Amino acid sequence: MSTMISVIFLSCLLFSPAFASKGYRINDFIVDVDGLSLKIYNVNAPDHIVWQTESVRLPFLKAGNALVPQAPIVDGNFQMVEDILFTTTRQTVTSVEYVEDQSLVLRGQLSGRSVGVLDAAKAGYSFTLAPSPLSANHLNFHASLEDGDGQDLNRLFLSYWADAEETFHGFGESFTDFSLNGRRVPVLVSEQGVGRGTEPITSFLNNGTEGTGGHWYSTYAPKPLYLTSSNRSVVFENSEVMFVDLTVPGHVEAEVWARSLTGNVIFAQSMKAAVSEMTLYTGRMLTPPEWSQKGAVVGLEGGTEEVSAIVEALKAGGVPVAGVWLQDWVGLRHSWDGDRLIYNWEVNYDWYPGWGDMVRGWAAEGTRVLTYVNPHFSDPSEFTNQSRHNFYQEGVENGYFVKRADGSPYTLFSLSIEFCMVDLTNPAAVAWMKNIIREFSVQEAMSSGWMADFGEYLPFDAVLYSGEDPASYHNRYPEEWAKLTHEALLEEGRADDILYFMRSAWLKSPQYNSVFWEGDQLVTWDANDGLKNVILGALSGGISGHAMSHSDIGGYTVTEYEEPGCTFLRTEELLNRWTELSTFGAALFRTHVGSSTSDSNFNVYDSPESIAHFAEFANIYGALKPYRDSLIEEAIGAGLPLIRPLAMNYAYDAAAWSKQEEYLFGDDFLVAPCMEEGAVTVQVYFPSMSGAWVHLWSGEELVVPVGEAGLELAVSAPIGFPPVFYRSGSEYGESLRAYVVEQGYTKRYTWQL
């Protein structure tokens, strides 16, 4: 009996008997307080629950005490380590304060006993619901522990109800599954790792140095937001580490490493509407420069003579080269992990003699040059005597870098590279970094863009100029890095003409970017960290504000370990298939030489056949520019992504929610890339009641039968002919069909429906 009494005590929500059940209106939202739970709905759809606490007497707020971890970091890979010692188990609501159409505030106490602890922990709290200034379709919530009470409590938990069959999507770029049901989802910016579950390389790397192999949850660009298959959406605004627990059907629990939690519940009646509403928080992306949409941006390395010869060969092969991306413009250093960049952001004229003539010559032909910049600096004097500026030394002398507790610069590592990172809370350091971008990349190097890399490394035990908590600022760092870059170009008057692309991101990063890139994939076919991974990242990122993204064509990470099964080199087939995928939906058509320039790692310029294949699809990419331009307008105006899940248009089809190896390119194209090695057919699913589709290569029309079930069909897909269909009657589809026929790209295709 005593045990049962204890259980009842440990799991209860008690409302004061002083007030009865009542509905409170806040703008168009009704908040029902019935003495057992809270329920929120919108007057425009009273039968649709927007948000609800669990309908039994369970606390919807808990506080906890946990050991404060240092979030161990190895090469930018953060490990989610926490040790929760205690959580409260009892919640009382002692008062309800209501200001008509403005706010509803619940106050009370959180308490409970821990095993072996005589004194019950307790803390006062407030839970406020109020209108959002961003949209009438948003209702803001703010839960907070009272200062001066329960100071040892450093975790806050918010629990609420979900449909048992409801699926959850978003959380930024998730590279594991489109639906994250059944998982406890961490929200922390980190290096992605190499492998992320692909074996044996993940275990091999994690056993060597924990974290470098990555985990299912590791991502450069998480976001504390989601939408569901039941049209429920939540955006959290905290920048501290969070977990969202979806392991129990019908139950959601959000945990934040802080004493307060702020967020917003959203009323939306479709996925498109939900994405548009959520991107009011993230900000809508910027317009990519016109030139970037006209052809390929080819990633090359090797110095003036080598890259000039390759560009000439590509152009002779018919490749429309919109840009040449030279990430080694700063020169290379040679170490145990291969050729790495010198982190000193100026042209290395020893490595690239005649840089100015090369850049101006390509510009006369309509080809731009792009470079590489990140917020890290290493001492160039260790690797070259050609540097005209030692930015590392400047940063140390002026206190521009993140520091340790003893005031010394915080030294970090990216494999063999030892570096310090700019303190973005220091206004003088921000101005210094902006000047480096403007003077040395834009002006001297005449760069039309760059990879603005990294942003994931800020340690939790660092000391920042502003005095802010680094554990809270960590997730914001890539957002501030994007803001700095954008502001530098605004000050230079080149924001509309220069393209930079980033992999790391936080909640509001989209408003400072025109294109994201999905980071470092393995040169493999798998879904954990290879080719299939690209679609997963684009789908989840696309509904989380990353409306325009792309990947390294062919992947990036090349491994040549002696351990069996841990060598991965890019093949011509993989490169061709990656090229085909990127043609239909990528916001930038860009290649990468990879992490190794080994002759065994295949590149687009390595054979006449590969150049011909790449030229064909680069030209198709250019021909799709008018359609992409229309989608870019939707991205900027409504936050809608270029690459869309089938469920965005066909939410009524349950099967559409589970498809993550095909996608909609806008509303007019359905794309199912071939992503299996050696495959020549692809199973393509056409959602129920989706109408008629035209096969791009054959011109055959397919009509999906009317009924509840969709249509699945094996489609022939030899190299050069990825399964692409357009909506019958689409102006853009008919235009592309006419183009591929006119260019002779369809002559080798004989399949018929």
Cα gap 527→533, rounded to integer Å: 5
- pTM for the full predicted model: 0.95
Query: What are the structure tokens assigned to 99, written together?
Result: 């200001």
pLDDT band at 653 (very low <50, low <70, confident <90, very high): very high
pLDDT of res. 72: 52
pLDDT of res. 11: 65
Burial environment of residue 7 by CB neighbours within 10 A (0 to 12, 13 to 18, 19 or more): exposed
pLDDT(120) > 80: no
Helix (H) or strand (E) holding 741: helix 731-742
pLDDT of res. 73: 64
β-strands 376-377, 417-421: how paired? antiparallel
pLDDT band at 292 (very low <50, low <70, confident <90, very high): very high
> What CA dihedral angle connects 625, 493, 346 and 458, to 10 degrees?
-80
Query: What are the structure tokens assigned to 583, written together?
Result: 């043609």
Q: Using an 8 Å Cβ cutoff, are 325 and 299 in contact?
A: yes
pLDDT band at 13 (very low <50, low <70, confident <90, very high): confident
Query: What are the structure tokens assigned to 393, written together?
Result: 């030394």
pLDDT(318) > 60: yes
The rounded percent of the chain whose pLDDT value lies above 70 is: 95
Nearest to 516, CA basis, from 532, 497, 540, 488: 540
β-strands 321-326, 296-300: how paired? parallel
Q: What does the mean pLDDT of the chain come to? A: 93
pLDDT band at 34 (very low <50, low <70, confident <90, very high): confident
pLDDT tens digit sequence for 384-409: 777 799 999 999 999 999 999 999 99
Q: What angle do CA 461, 151, 78 make, to 5 degrees?
A: 25
Instruction: Check the CA dihedral 14-19-21-24 and report its sign.
Output: negative
pLDDT(606) > 80: yes
Query: What are the structure tokens assigned to 187, written together?
Result: 């929200």
Q: Output 600 or 627, whichever has higher pLDDT.
A: 627
CA–CA distances in Å: residue 311 to residues 128, 300, 325, 642? 60, 9, 11, 29
Cα gap 41→20, rounded to integer Å: 19
pLDDT tens digit sequence for 459-502: 999 999 999 999 999 999 999 999 999 999 999 999 999 999 99
pLDDT(3) > 50: no
Burial environment of residue 569 by CB neighbours within 10 A (0 to 12, 13 to 18, 19 or more): middle
pLDDT tens digit sequence for 243-285: 999 999 999 999 999 999 999 999 999 999 999 999 999 999 9
pLDDT tens digit sequence for 327-343: 999 999 887 777 789 99
Q: What are phi and psi of 526, to 5 degrees?
A: -75, 170
Nearest to 367, CA basis, from 356, 355, 358, 378: 358
pLDDT of res. 6: 32
Helix (H) or strand (E) holding 264: strand 260-267
Burial environment of residue 262 by CB neighbours within 10 A (0 to 12, 13 to 18, 19 or more): middle
| Amino acid identity, position 122 | K
Q: Using an 8 Å Cβ cutoff, are 60 and 91 in contact?
A: yes
The residues assigned a catalytic role are 453, 456, 520
Place of tokens 């080199």: 569
pLDDT tens digit sequence for 188-236: 999 999 999 999 999 999 887 777 899 999 999 999 999 999 999 999 9
pLDDT band at 71 (very low <50, low <70, confident <90, very high): low
pLDDT of res. 94: 92
Q: State the average pLDDT over residues 692-715.
A: 94
pLDDT of res. 1: 27
Largest CA distance in the chain: 87
**How large is the angle between the packed helices 531-542 and 572-583, nearest 10 degrees?**
20
